[in-house]
């Protein structure tokens, strides 16, 4: 070890490159010193932008202001330079998915990536920016929701990491996606905030579909897709979204308070008069949104023999209201959640919860079936119309598993089609569309 510290004269010499030993360091003259001092004074005056707003002797306040400005500038530099590691989304670090996406750095990264996805993702067929065109269509129709295809997110050119977090923590991730979509839309259309204050992201084409009968506790607080027939639909009701209250004692306006769905948010004390109420709802400054509740039931072809069809309640908000009516077969994508039901607890004798679906996207299967007829389908229908026995084939296709009842099947088949208007002898016209 001592050999490492032995003298080496050829190496123990500093290089002279970069040294300014040859420069002349003479004393400054009086005029040069005064010029340098004037230059430094001008520099200090430029650095202190607030010098004109303070008295000449208020040096301590100026120093505090300057230090605070340096701290704020440093904080901004840290915020701008803070780069999220590339594996921060993939590495959960032992946390649950909900806690992971609630992390501020992770949420910012999800928001940034989703913004880039909306701006840059191109349709594989047209090679055009798909969602920029969707935003343009949305703005032309004054809508407040943007439909995003889950398959596009899962694509190699999309954001597969968001696809992983979305079904596991839909409430947290959808809030981030809504904020990102709102920022992108307002960047392109600055005045669209007058139409709607927030853009809702609707997730379509979720790959896995669950039957209503198969929903269990493992699906709670997850994004699911199910289908059924609408049996009950309430009217559209106004639901509180952002609430303000008036203090009856002093007239002070309290709020705004963001209303939660599971409980009523109400102030306990007035910050103006320190009174504890009473408080009245300020109707003019309170923000409402549309609310509708529907019940969907299993489709008859999915119910096993000898079993009753199961049903599930769904809550529709915003522009989803009135998107379906009783009798429609729909496909619902939403968050499967639970809520407290006192009557159910009393009936069962122990604490249980009622379950429902907070809808995020609805697809009407009947409309899709009518709008997606291809040229081959039209050609096949026209070929069948030339069959002289087409009526008997249609009658036989009604309930083929039930033997006999030919007249009943014939009546049902005829009820599916409209007739022709008849006017025999131009005396009495018979309508044929009923």
Length of the chain in terms of residues written: 434
| pLDDT of residue 18 exceeding 70 | no
Instruction: Report the alpha-carbon distance of residue 134 to residue 137 in Å, rounded.
Output: 5
Q: Report which of 109, 356, 318 is spatially closest to residue 101, judged by C-alpha positions.
A: 109
Q: Report which of 178, 184, 168, 151 is spatially closest to residue 89, judged by C-alpha positions.
A: 168
pLDDT of residue 80: 36
Task: Quick: pLDDT tens for 419-429.
Answer: 777 777 677 77
Q: Can you name the residues that pair with 226 across neighbouring β-strands?
A: 332
pLDDT of residue 68: 54
Instruction: Report the alpha-carbon distance of residue 179 to residue 197 in Å, rounded.
Output: 10
Task: Quick: pLDDT tens for 368-419.
Answer: 655 566 788 888 888 888 888 888 888 888 888 788 888 898 888 888 876 7
pLDDT of residue 49: 47
430 or 359, greater pLDDT? 359
18 Cβ contact partners less than 8 Å away, ≥ 6 residues apart: none
Q: Computed from CA positions of residues 34, 36, 42, 47, in that sequence, does the dihedral angle turn out positive or negative? A: negative
Task: Quick: pLDDT tens for 52-108.
Answer: 444 444 555 555 555 555 444 443 433 333 444 556 667 777 888 888 888 888 888
CA distances from 111 to 89, 185, 207, 291 (A): 12, 14, 23, 28
| pLDDT of residue 223 exceeding 70 | yes
DSSP structure class, residue 156: T
| pLDDT of residue 127 exceeding 50 | yes
Q: Report which of 102, 106, 107, 129 is spatially closest to residue 118, judged by C-alpha positions.
A: 129
* Residue 178 φ then ψ, to 5°: -60, -45
Task: Quick: pLDDT tens for 321-370.
Answer: 988 889 889 999 999 998 766 666 666 666 777 889 999 999 988 766 55
Task: Identify the three-state secondary structure at position 40.
Answer: helix
pLDDT of residue 77: 36
Q: Computed from CA positions of residues 423, 424, 429, 430, in that sequence, does the dihedral angle turn out positive or negative? A: negative
Instruction: Report the alpha-carbon distance of residue 221 to residue 171 in Å, rounded.
Output: 8
pLDDT cut 90: percent of the chain above it: 22
Q: How many CA atoms lie within 13 A of 129 on its CB side?
A: 12
pLDDT of residue 421: 74
CA distances from 417 to 199, 294, 387, 420, 433 (A): 42, 29, 17, 10, 8
Q: Which of these ranges, 10-19, 25-34, 349-358, 411-420, has the smallest mean pLDDT?
A: 10-19
Answer for the pair 155, 162: CB distance below 8 angstroms, yes or no.
Answer: no
| pLDDT of residue 226 exceeding 90 | yes
Instruction: Report the alpha-carbon distance of residue 227 to residue 363 in Å, rounded.
Output: 9
pLDDT of residue 431: 64
Task: Identify the three-state secondary structure at position 413.
Answer: helix
Task: Identify the three-state secondary structure at position 360.
Answer: strand
Instruction: Report the alpha-carbon distance of residue 373 to residue 161 in Å, rounded.
Output: 35
Quickly list DSSP for 158-207. Answer: S-HHHHHHHHHSHHHHHHHHHHHHHHHHHHHSGGGGGT-S-PEEEEE--S
pLDDT of residue 85: 56
Instruction: Report the alpha-carbon distance of residue 265 to residue 288 in Å, rounded.
Output: 14
What is the arithmetic mean of pLDDT over 113-119?
A: 91
Predicted TM-score (pTM) of the model is 0.65
Q: Enumerate domains of the chain plus CATH numbers.
A: 97-204 (3.30.1640.10), 212-368 (2.40.50.140), 379-426 (no CATH)
- The 10 Å Cβ neighbour count of residue 372 is 8
pLDDT of residue 297: 92
């Amino acid at each position: 070890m001592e050999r490492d510290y032995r003298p080496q004269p050829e190496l123990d010499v500093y290089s002279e490159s970069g040294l300014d030993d040859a420069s002349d360091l003479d004393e400054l003259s009086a005029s040069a010193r005064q010029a340098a001092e004037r230059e430094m004074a001008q520099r200090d005056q430029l650095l202190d932008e607030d010098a004109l707003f303070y008295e000449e002797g208020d040096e301590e306040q100026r120093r505090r202001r300057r230090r605070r400005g340096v701290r704020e500038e440093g904080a901004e530099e840290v915020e701008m330079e803070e780069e999220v590691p590339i594996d921060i989304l993939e590495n959960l670090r032992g946390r649950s998915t909900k806690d992971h996406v609630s992390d501020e750095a992770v949420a910012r990264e999800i928001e940034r990536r989703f913004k880039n996805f909306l701006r840059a993702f191109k349709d594989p067929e047209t090679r055009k920016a798909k969602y920029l065109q969707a935003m343009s269509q949305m703005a032309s129709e004054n809508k407040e929701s943007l439909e995003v295809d889950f398959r596009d997110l899962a694509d190699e050119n999309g954001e597969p990491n968001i696809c992983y977090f979305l079904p596991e923590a839909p409430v947290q991730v959808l809030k981030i996606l809504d904020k990102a979509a709102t920022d992108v839309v307002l960047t392109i259309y600055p005045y669209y905030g007058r139409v709607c204050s927030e853009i809702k992201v609707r997730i379509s084409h979720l790959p896995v579909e669950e039957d209503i009968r198969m929903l269990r506790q493992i699906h709670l607080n997850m994004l699911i897709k199910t289908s059924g027939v609408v049996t009950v639909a309430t009217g559209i009701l106004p639901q509180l979204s952002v609430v303000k209250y008036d203090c009856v004692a002093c007239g002070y306006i309290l709020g705004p308070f963001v209303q939660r769905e599971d409980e009523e948010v109400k102030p306990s004390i007035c910050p103006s008069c320190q009174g504890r109420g009473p408080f009245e709802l300020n109707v003019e400054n309170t923000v409402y949104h549309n609310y509708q509740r529907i019940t969907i039931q299993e489709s008859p072809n999915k119910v096993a023999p000898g079993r009753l069809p199961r049903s599930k309640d769904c809550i529709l908000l915003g522009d989803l209201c009135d998107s379906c009516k009783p009798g429609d077969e729909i496909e619902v994508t939403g968050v499967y959640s639970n809520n407290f039901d006192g009557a159910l607890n009393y009936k069962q004798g122990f604490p249980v919860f009622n379950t429902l679906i907070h809808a995020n996207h609805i697809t009407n299967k009947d409309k899709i079936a009518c709008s997606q007829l291809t040229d081959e389908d039209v050609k096949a229908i026209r070929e069948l119309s030339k069959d002289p026995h087409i009526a008997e084939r249609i009658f036989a296709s009604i309930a083929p598993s039930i033997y006999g009842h030919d007249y009943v099947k014939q009546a049902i088949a005829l009820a599916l089609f409209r007739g022709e208007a008849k006017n025999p002898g131009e005396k009495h016209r018979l309508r044929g569309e009923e």
